[in-house]
Every structure is written in structure tokens, then in C-alpha cells.
Amino acid sequence: MHRVKILASLLALALLTAGAAFGQADFSRYVALGDSLTAGFASGALFRSAQENSYPALLARQFGIANFQQPLVSDPGISATANFGALTLARLVPTPVIAPIPGQGQPLNLTLNRPYDNMGVPGVTVHGLLTATSGGFNNLILRGTGFTQLQQGLSLRPTFVTLWIGNNDALGSATSGTDQLLTPLASFEADYRAIVAAIASTGAKMAIANIPDVTSIPFVTTLTRFIINPQTGQPVLIGGNPVPLIGVNAGDFVLLTATTAEAQGFGIPTALGGNGQPLPDSVVLTAAEAANVRARVNAYNAVISTVANERGAALVNANGVLTQAATTGIHVGGITYSSAFLTGGIFSYDGVHPTPFGYAYIANLFIDAINDKFGTDVEPVNLFPFVFGFSSSAASTAQVVFDDSQAGPPFVLTREAGRNVLLSLGVPKSVVDGTPAPKPRKPGHGRH
């Protein structure tokens, strides 16, 4: 009888330990570290209706966290340029026009007496997350405390951290038509390891996401290298052949920002009504530059994957899913979502950041990776409202004034819109506004 009792208690103990060993992750204090993608940035701005569905906010909801704090900004949001909010689609036919909504949102949560749970800062690189205390969106989110994003996030003593950083180490380069703004691999690795080591030292569990192939986003892939007749939307044919834009070769990418230059006649021969000058270098990502950017992203991802393995972190394959979106599409309930600009449903009007559906889908990638790694049972986010809309959603009614008289190539990103996007990606102002001068070779170190 006695022996049976002992056996029973041993069994109970074994079960308890097994229980503890299973589903091992504590989500009670969750902190998100990262950049614009973590902040819930969309359509070139940080604004409440997008932030409320940032992937960290969605994860917090699925983790059962009630009081998840974010640096909310009222609509139409704050962009990288004063007096302009989020981008909106002003017109679809005959030529789509995307322009920023005039005005600016106000910070709604500036007085929170502790760091935000979502510490994502638009525009920051790996080095910025580790070292920056001010500048750009840091001012809004780090609030001049003198502490870095990493320091503030870890001061909350999180039990669980998501980290998605490194996008801006490659994005700014791709969207500025160069391979010269890439963070050198050695400094990327050193900074990345320092960040993950700091998180690991707190004992928090981690999910870390890798970096998408930034040459597969609509900002880079949407425009063709051929001259388009704005009336028909079809390529102009001479002798049955399409006419390439001046200065653009096979395999080169014409960036979304090229539409302003094209409208001014750049890239178009005088015979076809253009000014006969090549497109500025800053709006063309050449095949060679794209290959270099891709190779660097792959190298960054190799670092991320290695570090994730070393630290026992869940690895979220954001790159894989964005590649799927750009190739076969993502299928949900018979709907095919893709990386196509405007029609694809995954990317917002800046051609870089996701739509609410895109963010919700990414949240589920995190959840899948976390459940796989830690044996937890976090319920996926219900995508229904992101597919069909929230029944109570108040559609943005902000109107945009734009110059209707100009016929341009398909997808006109107005000048302000383009400038906005680049600045938000941490592209230096000198590059965004500078005359296309020969690019200086950077000595091997990060930009911050």
C-alpha cells in the first residue's frame, strides 16, 4: 500500500516536471524590439489604426496580455516629412496616383511613465537599435531619456522578446538604387550578436525574424524598364519592340520613385516627348547592385540563423514567406495574396511595409515559429477581419489634392510620397535630396 503511494507521488512528480518541460515559454512580460516593421509602420507613416494591428500588438493579444503599450500616434500619422501623414491611393484609373495625406497626427501616449512594450523604431538599423538614443523616430519612441531601444526594452524585465532587426541595413540601399549603403557584414554580425547576447543575459526567451529579400518588394519590382504609354498602360512599341527607358538595362529595376523623374521626361527619348536624359541613378537599381544587395541579405540571414540556433531562439522565416508572396503567392480561402503593388493585398502604399493583412499574416508566422520551438499552444490570429474588414472600421475619408493634368507612367508616387518613404527607411537626407553625385565609397562601418 505504502509502495503504491510512493509510486503515485513519483508519477505525479514526473508528470509535473514533464508539464514544465513542455510548453516552455512565459509570455507574461513581452517586449518587441525592431524597426518600422515592428512599430506597425505602414503607407509611409506611423499611425494608430496601423499600430493597433502591428504584429507585436497582435502577438500580445494572443499571449493574453491586456496592457501592451505602444507609442500610438493619431491618424493620419507621422511620416518622415513634416506636415504630411500616411500615403493614400488618390486615384486608380487611368493612372494610379499615391500621395501623402496633408496634416500630421499627434503622439497619444507620450506620457507613459515607463518604456513602451513595443520598442520598434522606424528607420533604425542593427547598430541603431544597439546604440541610438535620438534622431528620427527615436525622438518619439525613446523620448530623450538617453537610453537606447535595447536598454529601454530590457529594463522592462521581459520574459519573452521578439526581435526583427536588420531590414534597414539593406532596405535603404535597395530603395536608393545603390549597393553602397549596405552595412558591412562584420559590423552587422558584431552588433547583432551584441543585441541577442544582451537579451539572452536576462533569461528571456526569444523569437527572431530574418530579413526579406528587399529586392522582391513592390517598391523595387513594380515598374517595368520599358516606356509605357500612359493612355493605354501598354509598352510603347517601335518596330514591334518595346522601348527601354534610357539608362536602364535588362535585369535592372526601376524604382517606384522613378515615376516623378519619368513624368519630367527623364529616361524618355526626345522623339517620344521626353528630355532624352537617362533616369537618375538613385531611381534605378542595376542588376549588379541588386545581386550585391541580395547576397548581403543572404549573409545577414546566415548570421541571424546561426545566432538563433546558438541562443535557442525561435527563428521566423520572414524571408521565405516574402519570397513565396513574390513568386507563387499566399493562398487564403481561395484568395491569392501576392507582392503585386496595390492589387496584391500584402504591401501598403509605400511599396515597402505590409498592409494590416500582411502584418497579421506575419504575426501568425511568429506564432507558428514560437509554438514549434517552445511547444506552446498560442492560438493563431484570426485573419477574417483582415481579409474582409472590421465591421466597425471607420474608413479613412481624408482627401488628397493632386495634379490631375499630368499623364504619367503607371503608379505615380508623388515626389513628397517618394521622399517620405526613403527618409522613413533611414536613408540619409543627403542621399534622398542630394544631386546624383558619384557615391562615396564608405569605409567599413555602420551608419550611426
Partner 1 sequence: MQRRGGVTWRVLGAAVALGALAAVPMHAAGFSIFEQGTKSMGMAGAFTAQADDPSALFYNAGGLAFLDQRDFSVGATYIKGLKADFEGANPFPGEGYRASQKKLSEFPPHLYYVQPINAEWKFGLGIETPFGLTTEWEKPNQFAGRFLSTKAALRAFDVNPTIGYQVTPNFGIGIGAIARISDVELNRNVGVNNPFTNRIVDAGKLKLSGDFNEGYGFNVGILHKVTPSFSWGFSYRSQITVDYDGDARLTQVSTGNAQLDLALASRLPFNTKLPVKTSIDFPDEASLGVAYSFTPNFLVEVDANWTGWSSFKEVQIDFTGGATNSLPDTTLPQGWKDAYNYRLGLRWQANPTSQWRFGYVYDETPQPEVGVSPLLPDADRNGYCIGYGYTGGWKADFALMYLPFKDRSRNQNRPGAEADTFFGTYKTDALLLGVTLTF
Four-residue CA torsion sign, 83, 88, 92, 97? positive
Q: What's the closest the beta carbon of residue 185 comes to partner 1, in angstroms? A: 31
Q: Under the criterion CB under 8 A, does residue 440 sit at the interface with partner 1?
A: no
Structural contact between residues 283 and 193, judged by C-beta atoms closer than 8 angstroms? no
State which residue, 249 or 336, has the beta carbon closest to partner 1. Answer: 336
Region binding partner 1 by CB under 8 A among candidate stretches 99-107, 173-181, 305-313, 388-396? 388-396
Provide the grid cell at 108.
497619444
Give the residue, chosen from 85, 96, 122, 409, that forms a contact with partner 1 under the rule CB under 8 A.
Answer: 96
Is 391 or 435 the residue whose CB approaches partner 1 more closely? Answer: 391
Site membership for partner 1, residue 342 (CB under 8 A): yes
**Does 236 help bind partner 1 (rule: CB under 8 A)?**
no
Among residues 139, 149, 145, which one has the least CA distance to residue 117? 149
Instruction: Output phi, psi for 398, to 5 deg.
Output: -60, 135
Three-class secondary structure of residue 37 per DSSP: helix
Taking CB under 8 A as the rule, does residue 122 contact partner 1?
no
Within 13 Å, how many C-alpha atoms sit on residue 305's CB side?
11
Q: Which stretch binds partner 1 (CB under 8 A): 136-144, 203-211, 261-269, 350-358?
A: 350-358
Stretches 66-74, 156-164, 187-195, 380-388: which one binds partner 1 (CB under 8 A)?
A: 380-388
357 binds partner 1 (CB under 8 A): yes
Residue 98 in 3-state DSSP? Answer: strand
Query: What crossing angle do the helices spanning 287-311 and 168-175 adopt, rounded to 10°?
Result: 170
Q: Is 392 left (phi over 0), alpha (psi -120 to 50) or beta?
A: alpha
Q: Nearest CA to 426 among 185, 87, 167?
A: 167
Give the count of beta carbons closer than 10 Å to the beta carbon of residue 190. 15
Answer yes or no whether residue 383 interacts with partner 1 by CB under 8 A: yes
Q: Are 95 and 407 in contact (CB under 8 A)?
A: yes
CB closer to partner 1 out of 89 and 200: 89
Query: Which range of residues in 117-125, 137-145, 240-248, 342-350 is near partner 1 by CB under 8 A?
Result: 342-350
3-state secondary structure of 19: helix
Residue 311 in contact with residue 194, Cβ under 8 Å?
Answer: no
C-alpha closest to that of 432 among 97, 101, 177: 177
Q: Is 218 one of the binding residues for partner 1 (CB under 8 A)?
A: no
Q: Does 401 bind partner 1 (CB under 8 A)?
A: no
Specify the amino acid at residue 62: Q
Q: How far is the CB of 64 from partner 1 (least distance, A)?
A: 15
CB neighbours of residue 1 within 10 Å: 4
Among 372, 379, 403, 404, binds partner 1 (CB under 8 A): 379
Instruction: Note whether 240 binds partner 1 by CB under 8 A.
Output: no
| Near partner 1 by CB under 8 A: residue from 145, 328, 403, 406 | 328
Cα four-point dihedral sign 363, 71, 307, 28: negative
CB of 353 to partner 1, least distance (A): 12
Phi, psi of 31 (to 5 degrees): -125, 135
Q: Tell me: does residue 381 bind partner 1 (CB under 8 A).
A: yes
Pick 189 or 213: Cβ nearer partner 1: 213
Contact flag: residue 384 with partner 1 (CB under 8 A) = yes
In this chain, which of 8, 276, 298, 388 binds partner 1, going by CB under 8 A?
A: 388
Binding string, residues 13-52; x marks residues near partner 1 by CB under 8 A = ----------------------------------------
> How many CB atoms sit inside 10 A of residue 218's CB?
24
Site for partner 1 contains 246 (CB under 8 A): no
Q: Is residue 91 at the binding interface for partner 1, with CB under 8 A as the rule? A: yes
CB of 145 to partner 1, least distance (A): 35
DSSP 142-163: TTTSS--HHHHHHHT--SEEEE
- CB of 93 vs partner 1, minimal distance in Å: 5
**Which parts of this chain interact with partner 1 (CB under 8 A)?**
89, 91-93, 96, 324, 327-329, 331-335, 337, 342-345, 348, 355-357, 360, 364, 379-384, 387-389, 395
